Structures are given as C-alpha cells and as structure tokens.
C-alpha cells in the first residue's frame, strides 16, 4: 500500500505531460501578413466555445457564432487579429474566404465573420472569424480589411 501514493503521483505526472503536449499542439496555424496598412495575423485553433458560463469567446458583432454543438460540428476556430500601427483594430470590417488546394482543389468558401474578444478580457483581444469544420490538407485564405486591402495566406492542417 505504501507505493500507492507514488503510483498516483506518477499517473498525475503522466496526465500532466499529456495535457502539456495537447496545449503545445493546440495552435495549428499562426501566420502574419500585411493587408495594406493593416497587419493581419491568421490563426487556426481548436474550435472555441461561445455559449454558457465557461465560454471562451465573447461574441460582440458580425455573423452569428458557429456553436460547438450545432449542426456543423466545427473542429477549428479560424480567426484574424488586425493591427494598425502596432495597435489592435477593434472595429474593422473583415472578410475571409478560403479554399482547399490539396488533396482536392476546392471552391472558395466564405467564412461567416463574427467579431469577438476573449471572454473576460479587454477589447484589445478583439478578433474576427468563426468556428468551422475543415479537414486535413493545404489551404489558401484571403483576408480583406475594410473593403480594399487583402492579405493572402497559405497553410496546412494535419488534423
């Protein structure tokens, strides 16, 4: 019986290691490009919650959130953070389209862009995008800020 606490500690340590590995892989894509005078950072993350007391995202404008338990069963969160002169832009008009390049050439898909910030944090965390269902492959995304300035991104998803 003496060894039980040690065994439990080892289990907890192992679980902690798994958790840390999960966090390390949580951010699937992070790329930054210029759209005219705007710096645009595209992130593709695991799908995020918008609803309930533990919601990670506070939706504040734009398209309706694609919810975790909704019919689309989203697996990712595709969003952009916009900066001008190094400062977050909290009221941009953002358009996001994307297409699969491989393994299958796909048609352009328009992401319904919601504006949100991180729940419990300031509007400096404002970002634009939504949850979506997107499979492994390579993709192109085009992000338009305030109508005219567009940034193009290429990224790969392994899951």
Name which of 30 and 138 has its Cβ closer to Cu ion: 30
Q: Which residues bind Cu ion (CB under 5 A)?
A: 57, 79, 116
The residue sitting closest to Cu ion, measured at its beta carbon, is 57
Separation between Cα atoms, residue 56 and residue 120, nearest integer Å: 8
DSSP state of 6: H
Query: Minimum distance from CB of 1 to Cu ion (Å)?
Result: 48
Q: Using CA atoms, how far apart are residues 110 and 95, in angstroms rounded to an integer?
A: 8
Quick one: 72 or 101, whose CB is closer to Cu ion?
A: 72
Instruction: Please report, in angstroms and rounded to a whole number, the separation of the first and last CA atoms in the chain.
Output: 43
Tokens at residue 141, please? 């995304």
Between 35 and 78, whose beta carbon lies closer to Cu ion? 78
The least distance separating Cu ion from the CB of residue 155, rounded to whole angstroms, comes to 17
Please report how close the Cβ of residue 77 comes to Cu ion at its closest, in angstroms: 6
Is the CB of 126 or the CB of 144 nearer to Cu ion?
126
Give whole-number Cα distances, 49 to 5, 19, 90, 115, 138, in Å: 36, 19, 21, 14, 25
Q: How far is the CB of 58 from Cu ion (least distance, A)?
A: 9
Q: Tell me if 119 sits within 8 A of 57, measured CB to CB.
A: yes
């Amino acid at each position: 019986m003496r060894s039980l606490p040690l065994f439990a500690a080892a289990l907890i340590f192992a679980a902690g290691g798994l958790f840390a590995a999960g966090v390390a892989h949580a951010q699937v894509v992070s790329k930054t490009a210029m759209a005219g005078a705007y710096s645009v950072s595209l992130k593709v993350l695991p799908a995020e919650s918008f609803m309930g007391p533990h919601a990670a995202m506070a939706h504040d404008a734009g398209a309706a959130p694609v919810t975790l338990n909704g019919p689309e069963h989203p697996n990712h969160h595709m969003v952009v953070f916009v900066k001008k002169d190094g400062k977050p832009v909290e009221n941009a008009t953002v358009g996001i389209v994307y297409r699969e390049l491989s393994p299958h050439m796909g048609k352009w898909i328009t992401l319904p862009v919601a504006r949100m910030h991180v729940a419990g944090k300031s509007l400096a965390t404002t970002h634009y995008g939504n949850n979506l269902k997107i499979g492994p492959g390579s993709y192109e995304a085009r992000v338009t800020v305030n109508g005219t300035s567009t940034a193009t991104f290429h990224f790969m998803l392994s899951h």
